[in-house]
Amino acid sequence: MRAKGAGVVIDTNVWISGLLTKAGPPAQLTRQVVSAAQPVFSRDTFAELADRLWRPKFDRYVAMEVRKRLLSDLESIARWVDVPAATAAHAFCRDASDDKFIHAALAAGAQWLVTGDSDLLVLSESLLPLGLTVLTPAEALAIPELAPAA
């Protein structure tokens, strides 16, 4: 594990969008977090990303070796968190499968959760008192700590 930059939880949809399109906010944001901040994962958030990346529907878009390398690289540079049972028991989202991203962010004390998922984005105001800001990739790129160097 490396200690650098702010911890950021990135939803699976943003990682995949960034991998599939080399330009655009998801790709820019994921590259920036890897280089200047620190991606945060729990066992559950990483398992979801791995599960999605192994799906055959991605075979025609991204070589298996590229997907393996991404997961290996993320596994080695990530800030790993264990989610306390009390945090894991708390429901935040109308889609319970999205709670794992909020749980990881809270367990890590991360300031930002970056997603394209409307079920998480609608929680932005309600999570602010917990110190967590939910942003789209484009919004996250406007934050000085996450913005690419000019």
pLDDT 10s digits, 84-100: 999 999 999 999 999 99
Q: What average pLDDT does the segment 99-103 reach?
A: 97
Whether 2 has a pLDDT exceeding 50, the answer reads no
Q: Percent of the chain, pLDDT > 90?
A: 84
Instruction: Return the structure tokens found at 79.
Output: 């800030």
What whole-number distance in Å separates Cα of residue 14 and Cα of residue 70? 13
What whole-number distance in Å separates Cα of residue 63 and Cα of residue 83? 32
pLDDT band at 146 (very low <50, low <70, confident <90, very high): confident
pLDDT at 35 (0 to 100): 87
pTM: 0.92
pLDDT at 144 (0 to 100): 82
Note the pLDDT tens digit of each residue in 28-75: 999 999 888 899 999 999 999 999 999 999 999 999 999 999 999 999
Q: Which CATH number applies to 7-140: 3.30.499.10, 3.40.50.261, 3.40.50.1010, 3.10.129.10?
A: 3.40.50.1010
Instruction: Return the structure tokens found at 64.
Output: 């298996």
Dihedral angle, C-alpha 80, 114, 123, 3, nearest 10 °: 30
Task: Please choose, from the candidates 74, 55, 65, 83, the residue with its C-alpha nearest in 3D space to the C-alpha of residue 10.
Answer: 74
Q: Where are the domains of the chain?
A: 7-140
